[in-house]
Structure 1
Amino acid sequence: MEDGRGGRDVTDSVADWRGNKMAAERGAWCVPCLASNETLQEICRKESLICKCIGINKKNLNNYEVEYLCDRKMVKGSEYFLVKWKGWPESTNTWEPAENLKCPALLEQFYNDFYLYLSKLNAGKLSKLKIHFKSVGHSAADFLVKKAKQRIALKRWEEELNRKKSHNGMLYVENNVDLEGTPRDFFYINDYKTTPGVITLGEAIVGCECTDCFTGVCCPIEAGVVFAYNEQQQIRIQPGRPIYECNSRCKCGPDCPNRVVQKGPPYSLCIFRTDDGRGWGVKTLQKIKKHSFVMEYVGEVITSEEAERRGQQYDSTGITYLFDLDYESDEFTVDAARYGNVSHFVNHSCDPNLQVYNVFIDNLDVRLPRIALFSTRSIKAGEELTFDYQMKGSGDLSTDSIELSPAKKRIRTVCKCGASTCRGFL
């Protein structure tokens, strides 16, 4: 943190609140500050300190920038808005005439949020959102502030997700439905997180020496299976057949056509709040071609015994994050409830547009395949991504005798996918 007057280093509660990334990477302990943002902002302004992580920078240290609008009223025919100033505590909020505000996007957002409130209040019966009013009212103002704070929290979470992800595609977060905030007790990871009792045995010790992996004696041939991709890196094998990609010991370079899943999701995706009671979902922001790799399903790798114990705990909520890794045996399960990537938020459909495949790269232990999701058809930008939690597939991609299946459930969960072929229950 910088001193706005001289740029000196400061070690105080704000520094504790921010933490130290390098120290964390070295294994040091980082203790979060218990003070609120408002308290920290007041300290910074009193001491003329700059702390970007709580919204105080050189630009607004002594200046005022609108963060969001909290309320609206009419006074003698003039329109006034209650303004929350960026980097300033709520105790400094002020009423400002509309002509003083140079923030058209925030004004539009204020009205959009207000109309969302009215729509919910009137059970969605508003057809023409042009309403004249003197003030928004206490309950509406409370909703507007909560919505603004939610938007800021989701934006921070979005930035955190993009810092943690290791793939090229961007991640976005959107909630235009309710006041649900960031998921609690969820940690974003890019690869499997092993737990006690999980011992893998199949690390690759050799790799191919191909100059052209399409025509050479490549890793799939050595494993006794067919090459999984075509020249456009689209999947060409049936579900249930394994994918063997080139590994870190192979002589081929990063542009090898047999390196698809290991490069990570190539598409920009959006985690969004569904409006039909299915919680969070994921939609693509780009067009996805048929049979293309979209994402991996990752989480904690646990033993079947631990999966049974956790499954009993999850039953009351109808949670569906446990997947058995039963390619050749039933020893391990992936649990994406607390640790996972964007696939954690992908919803079920009885007529999905994603299909599961088992993938082996550097770890050739057949008990522990990686779980890759490929598109079953062309997917339009803005369309929600789904897969069948019972792994039935869709269209011309029918499952084989070997497949990945969800951990056994003890209760029946009502399906809300809305597909014409919906089975009614998960």
Structure 2
Amino acid sequence: MAENLKGCSVACKVSLSQLQTCCRQERVFCQELGLNKKNFNDYEVEYLCDYKKNRDEEFYLVKWKGYPESQNTWEPRKNLRCVKLLKVFQHDLELELRKHRKRRSLKKLDSSISSYLVQKAKQRQELQRWEAHLNKMRNHKGRIFVLNEVDLEGPPKNFTYINNYKVGDGIMLNEVTLGCECADCLGNPVKGCCAGASLHRFAYNDRGQVKLRAGLPIYECNSRCCCGMDCPNRVVQKGIQFDLCIFKTDDGRGWGVRTMEHIRKNTFVMEYIGEIITTEEAEKRGHIYDRQGATYLFDLDYVEDVYTVDAANHGNISHFVNHSCNPNLQVYNVFIDNLDERLPRIAFFSTRHIKPGEELTFDYKMQIDPVDAESTRMDSNFSRAGLPGSPKRRVRVECKCGVESCRKYLF
């Protein structure tokens, strides 16, 4: 029996830092874990809890990584080599003292302030773990950052990050059976390529910027096409390309999203992803969301009001994008591997140049100026099953976008 197990191995469920802590507690050296006589007594600081000053020497109350809070110790500044944690602690302390209008030259912190600093440190850990989880779940190039410098709210509960539509009960996505035969879809399209199949001109220029007027559908090359992923008619399907930050707004609008990079005008930014449900199911959920004061329902009403995307519990970073009456994102209906016009993919493209640090927004009731008979079929009815302005909803919601052209109410 032992011979059959020769060469077998089992992954350890304990992290490296936890193993190092166990060794230190048991006074055991371990070269494989990097513990020797020189660094054996070097303990890792998890976060700083409190501050005091005795004469001219500063002391910090330290929470040691791998040890319970009951073993926190006061350490002089000279003993601490955690420069980043010290800067974070000082930043949080400065903000809290400013809020309470207290002087920086304190010899001892009030218990309320030190309690807040501990909560802030724990919240930061939660957000960092959530950020790592989001980046582990994403399948796109753009990284996700998380920041909350407003309050102590942590990651949202009951939210699962997904990269593609989650199909609800009784809904079928019919995959395409044909693709284009182009060797060069932009330079030499065969029979109009995929875009030509709908009698529309090519959607993108050679830099991937959309050329079509809002309201016209975009038909990208699909999995049956002869071209590869470097084809210029594959933009939305490549996913989010920009680093984005989920941040807590300071004006009562909850979480928002800002870009970390410069975004050119008419550039694809993200898709609105969620669970595809019927409008009947959306009506039921809308009543529940009414009572919660929030909703994430987006009607797919390009040709018929049959299906809705619900991003309340399953979605991507678009879940956190706020409304504005003067938005920098525009909605387009996109078709790739599914050509059912009742089930378009909802893509957001930039309406103007967007600077790093600028919040991303779209209009929850974006109207499209008609340019032909077909374009009048499309408008952006975000949350029509759950937001005001619809016969399905009875409550008016005040708009907090703050722009000069604000309509005061979402609908």
* Bucket of the pairwise TM-score, normalised by the shorter protein: 0.7 to 0.9
Conserved 8 A contact 2:140-2:238: yes
Shift of 1:43: 7.2
- In structure 1, the gaps of 5 or more residues are 1-7, 19-36, 50-56
Verify: 1:156 aligned to 2:129, yes or no: yes
Verify: 1:377 aligned to 2:352, yes or no: yes
Residue 419 of structure 1: aligned partner: 403
Residue 183 of structure 1: aligned partner: 156
Verify: 1:211 aligned to 2:199, yes or no: no
1:97 counterpart (76, 93, 98):
76
| Cα 1:77–1:47 shift into 2, 3 Å | closer
Q: For each residue in 1:7-44, what CA deviation from the matched residue of structure 2 results, as whole angstroms up to 9, or x when unmatched?
A: x97799x56xx9xxxxxxxxxxxxxxxxxx99x99878
How far apart are the structure 1 equivalents of 2:338 and 2:27? 54
Amino acid paired to 1:118: L
Amino acid paired to 1:403: D
Shift of 1:46: 5.8
| Cα 1:150–1:61 shift into 2, 3 Å | farther
Shift of 1:47: 7.3
Shift of 1:356: 0.5
Conserved 8 A contact 1:358-1:404: no
Secondary structure at 1:328 match in 2: coil
Conserved 8 A contact 1:292-1:375: yes
Secondary structure at 1:333 match in 2: strand
Conserved 8 A contact 1:42-1:89: no
2:222 counterpart (247, 250, 272):
247
How far apart are the structure 1 equivalents of 2:292 and 2:278? 21
1:295 counterpart (266, 270, 276):
270
Amino acid paired to 1:204: V
Residue 316 of structure 2: aligned partner: 341
How far apart are the structure 2 equivalents of 1:393 and 1:76? 68
How far apart are the structure 2 equivalents of 1:370 and 1:58? 51
Amino acid paired to 2:407: R
| Cα 1:387–1:48 shift into 2, 3 Å | farther
Misfit runs of 4+, over 4 Å: 8-12, 40-49, 57-62
How far apart are the structure 1 equivalents of 2:182 and 2:317? 34
Secondary structure at 2:365 match in 1: coil
| Cα 1:377–1:105 shift into 2, 3 Å | same
% identity of equivalent residues: 56
How far apart are the structure 2 equivalents of 1:84 and 1:314? 40
Conserved 8 A contact 1:352-1:393: no
Verify: 1:310 aligned to 2:285, yes or no: yes
Residue 87 of structure 2: aligned partner: 108
| Cα 1:424–1:93 shift into 2, 3 Å | same
Conserved 8 A contact 1:41-1:89: no
Residue 265 of structure 1: aligned partner: 240
Secondary structure at 1:67 match in 2: strand
Residue 115 of structure 2: aligned partner: 142
Secondary structure at 1:422 match in 2: coil
1:117 counterpart (91, 96, 102):
96
How far apart are the structure 2 equivalents of 1:46 and 1:393? 66
Residue 79 of structure 1: aligned partner: 58
1:365 counterpart (340, 346, 359):
340
| Cα 1:131–1:378 shift into 2, 3 Å | same
Shift of 1:62: 6.3
Q: For each residue in 1:152-208, what CA deviation from the matched residue of structure 2 results, as whole angstroms up to 9, or x when unmatched?
A: 1111111111111011111111111111111111100000001112123x3210100
How far apart are the structure 2 equivalents of 1:402 and 1:76? 70
How far apart are the structure 1 equivalents of 2:162 and 2:26? 38
Residue 3 of structure 2: aligned partner: none
Secondary structure at 1:161 match in 2: helix
How far apart are the structure 2 equivalents of 1:393 and 1:271? 28
How far apart are the structure 1 equivalents of 2:274 and 2:181? 32
Amino acid paired to 2:91: N
Secondary structure at 2:366 match in 1: coil
Conserved 8 A contact 2:367-2:379: no
1:169 counterpart (142, 154, 161):
142
- In structure 2, the gaps of 5 or more residues are 1-7, 388-392
Conserved 8 A contact 1:41-1:88: no
RMSD: 2.7
Aligned residues: 381
| Cα 1:87–1:236 shift into 2, 3 Å | same
TM-score calculated relative to the size of structure 1: 0.83
TM-score calculated relative to the size of structure 2: 0.86
Conserved 8 A contact 1:167-1:266: yes
Verify: 1:352 aligned to 2:324, yes or no: no
Shift of 1:87: 2.5
Conserved 8 A contact 1:301-1:334: yes
Amino acid paired to 2:223: S
How far apart are the structure 2 equivalents of 1:392 and 1:61? 66
Shift of 1:329: 0.9
